[in-house]
Amino acid sequence: MNWGVNVKRLGEASRQAEEKVDQRVSVIVPCYNEASTIGQVISDFQRYLPDAEIYVFDNNSTDGTAEVAREAGALVRSVALQGKGNVIHRMFGDVEADVYVMVDGDDTYDASVAPKLIETLLNDGLDMVVGCRVSDEAAAYRPGHRFGNAMLTGFAASIFGRAFRDMLSGYRVFSRRYVKSFPAHAAGFETETELAVHALELRMPVAEVDTYYGSRPEGSVSKLNTYRDGFRILMTIIKLFKLERPLAFFSICFAASLILSIALAIPIFGTYFKTGLVPRLPTALLCAALSLLGFLFLICGLVLDTVTKGRLEAKRFAYLAIPGPSAAPRKNRC
């Protein structure tokens, strides 16, 4: 009887060890009108990650992107809701793997770096590795985009902590526990900001690896609007600041209201001490209202800070419920 139990336990241990060794790798590609480049992207990743499954998530393309991807050997899914954030929400929910390689379908990222990104993730037990863009082509990485990326990355770092040089890169490798714990609220290009903040918020182990960033091939058009999407990313950072650091956010609002109230009240007090009169009653009422508003901001910050800590603990439990990445050899599972 004991012999049978021991055999059963040995079989269970062997099965668990096999699962640990068997790392499933999936390449996930969000696409919108990339028929001219998606075939090359799939071919490159098939070459450098021959055991990986390649998924293309088509976001209402009108140029035959889905057909080209399917003919190239990718598994194609359609996403009806427009926007990269909506596509990532669907990708993270649908695809089951141990390691996820996410790359844009515009053929600007170097597929040969993918094995190095995965190796870094597994060997160091990380949850996200970002392909930090390096390019000497002005057309590939325009000065306006460089400046905007540096400004937004620096702004986010001042709030959530500095861990990235290229927060907006579209080339990343994720662990399973990162993907399955990601909330995916954003709808558009601001989703890259949300990806970075999620890692910083839970203090996940992350890294960056330099990767060549090339210009788009002829016939491929960027879907990024510099000013519109840059403004949306900035608003996303502010919104995440309010959601994830409510005490700091509302303390700033409290201080601003109180300083404005005091600035408006100084002349009123000066007149009162000289004459004993308050001739500007509307201004005095405004000062009182601003002071009350400031204290309301402070109370909101204190209450929401407690709520946020509870929500963060729940997210942390969901994150820890999934085993971390392993440095064991990878083998694609059918």
Which among 123, 88, 311 is positioned nearest to 202, based on CA atoms?
A: 311
Q: Which whole-number Å values give the CA distances from 143 to 140, 226, 237, in the listed order?
A: 10, 11, 22
* pLDDT for 220: 56
Cβ atoms of 165 and 178 within 8 Å: the answer is no
Confidence band for 190, pLDDT divided at 50, 70 and 90: confident
Confidence band for 185, pLDDT divided at 50, 70 and 90: confident
- Contacts (Cβ under 8 Å, ≥6 apart) of 272: 278
How far apart CA 303 and CA 262 sit, in angstroms, is 25
Which among 127, 114, 142 is positioned nearest to 209, based on CA atoms?
A: 114
* pLDDT for 229: 64
Helix, strand, coil percent values for the chain (each to nearest 5): 55, 10, 30
Helix (H) or strand (E) run with residue 224 in it: none
Specify the 3-state DSSP secondary structure of 29: strand
Rounded average pLDDT over 151-169? 79
How far apart CA 283 and CA 262 sit, in angstroms, is 11
Confidence band for 329, pLDDT divided at 50, 70 and 90: very low
* pLDDT for 20: 40
* pLDDT for 301: 93
Check pLDDT > 80 for residue 277.
no
How far apart CA 175 and CA 125 sit, in angstroms, is 9
Tokens of 272: 């009162």
What's the mean per-residue pLDDT of the chain? 83
Question: pTM for the whole thing?
Answer: 0.74
Rounded average pLDDT over 79-103? 94
Q: Which of the residue ranges 128-142, 189-203, 320-334 has the most confident prediction, judged by mean pLDDT?
A: 189-203
Check pLDDT > 90 for residue 94.
yes
Check pLDDT > 70 for residue 200.
yes
DSSP 270-328: HHHHHHS----HHHHHHHHHHHHHHHHHHHHHHHHHHHHHHHHHHHHHHHHTSPPP--S
Confidence band for 300, pLDDT divided at 50, 70 and 90: very high
Token pair 């926007």 is found at: 83
Rounded average pLDDT over 46-66? 94
- Tens digit of each residue's pLDDT (9 = 90 or more) over 306-328: 998 888 888 888 888 888 886 54
Confidence band for 225, pLDDT divided at 50, 70 and 90: low
291 CB burial (10 A radius; 0-12, 13-18, 19+) = middle
Listed in order, strand segments (DSSP E) in the chain are 25-31, 53-58, 75-78, 99-102, 128-134, 172-175, 206-212
* pLDDT for 327: 53
Cβ atoms of 33 and 61 within 8 Å: the answer is yes
- For 93-120, letters b (16+ CB in 10 Å) and e give eebebbbbbbbbbbbbbbbebbebbbee
Confidence band for 219, pLDDT divided at 50, 70 and 90: low
- Tens digit of each residue's pLDDT (9 = 90 or more) over 234-265: 887 888 888 888 999 999 999 999 999 999 98
- Residue 145 carries which side chain, given as an amino acid letter? H
